[in-house]
Structure 1
């Protein structure tokens, strides 16, 4: 089967691009013909791609614009889909369906909308709301990241079997070399947080919580890995709270696995998420988790008992949960074992099986429709 994925910018180092490469590579290993097209950026990626995956760039400029730009995107999408002659086209981001209305009903390929944000937010893009409505009408299938979000789509748009949840896979982290000494989780005094330094991730709440934790456990350290537009204000907040000795802003790193291996706990303070990849990564490394119960994702990931959920924007509840786990190493050990078991559910090859089953169903439905005609 020929499958075409279309992404915004393949050269970006975000989670959307990473999982596209993971699933595309898995489908190639399963014998499919896979291509990935990049709308706005070069057809290169820092993530692993199987050699059988072909890539191409559509050459559009990523800039604001009106009707002319919309027509340009629509035309570029149609031209690529026609030239590729794919059996299935996966638009990686519901916003892309906003440009498909003029021609989607008339192409031969089956179309999948792969949504990476939960339905409660349009992530600042009015076009995403338009694209979601268009996907309900035009897509043959809509793939979301959590069961809770699948239910939300079904209830809002009155659709049933068209939408299904397929989780994103855990990244494939390299094994540590022989010269790397792993930190014993029982001796580590590090709480780790990872994410972009933006309002969404709630690091301002985490810092307020840590001000409480640090008074109770002055020998522990909070390490925040990431970068973003709120970096300066968060560092100023940490200074105001007197946390300079117990909070480290690591910044951007290409070796985040080192941070996971040196931590004892993982904290996520997000105000909203789709399927938070950092929680899956923390599970992979066996880290007990304290997370906000934000919309979709955390509750499903931690249902096995590998973490604790607290209310969004509640610094005191977050601080209490962190302090409780710091003071209970036996509970941390039990959660760590559950986390490692849980991570196996998010193996790339396992999730590629679900994608293959979806593709088979779409192909069978298409054959049945042709036979009826």
Structure 2
């Protein structure tokens, strides 16, 4: 019952308040319930379900679920319910009861925790359709999470000797998924996400902290990593050999803290970099040479860059930083696209997404939260 009841209920279309209840939730298998409720959500039924608020709170509490101690789970659920302003309900008598709590819950789902702060995150969709998140933190570990079940995949990946500051993912032409990580130990490491094992030796050569990583697969099948560093250089690595590709890309006075890579429809591979001098530079990865002049519209450090090719073939770079501005650039013309997006705080991270049934968007991280904005087109 504890393991399979929610799966059978979801398959029968009766996963409702009889299962998503305060009495039963402390006993369920957290991973199976996450997967079962996501299948319900994909059918569009959750929005009208009376148990949606309790399920949302459960998702935020269940990262600490203990299969062997339902009473502790009940107390955790009661505390999180109090934070969310939900009534205690009859489950309070099963364990600790949260009568009052003062902090505000966000709307995101907590997957788990590092033992230090989380400094970097990347996502990847495997050939079998599974979606993973890869995180790095000050505890010197890299962790992998299954986004369907919310559970960790394998043990933490260890090897870095200092904080992990940058994470990227690459799926090779044969379907092998890799993670590329960099950090304060001045090394870049490559991991096989299928096995959880390191690929080759650490990539060394930077003389400062590795602040940014991007991955790209070229039309000829070669997989490259592009890394930005506190020493002011950007380096390109062949992930098959572990060797540097060409000389370091230079042009900064102090550090390069944002990197993105993209393959244009004509087959050219570009890197887009940002750093402390407020300039955005574009590089041809085949030649190692800059493409045109630096893009000079930001008035502060550039902390985040992303690059994307839209369905119509237009290649864009999105940049943000200390000046609180998010700008979009056409990579083929080096001209700005659309209006500048003004934020109330510096942009610290950027990602792009192309939904199946919606317009392309940029996801922007700031110290105050997340913003999602529709990408302008030329």
- TM-score, with structure 1 as normaliser: 0.25
More strand by share: 2
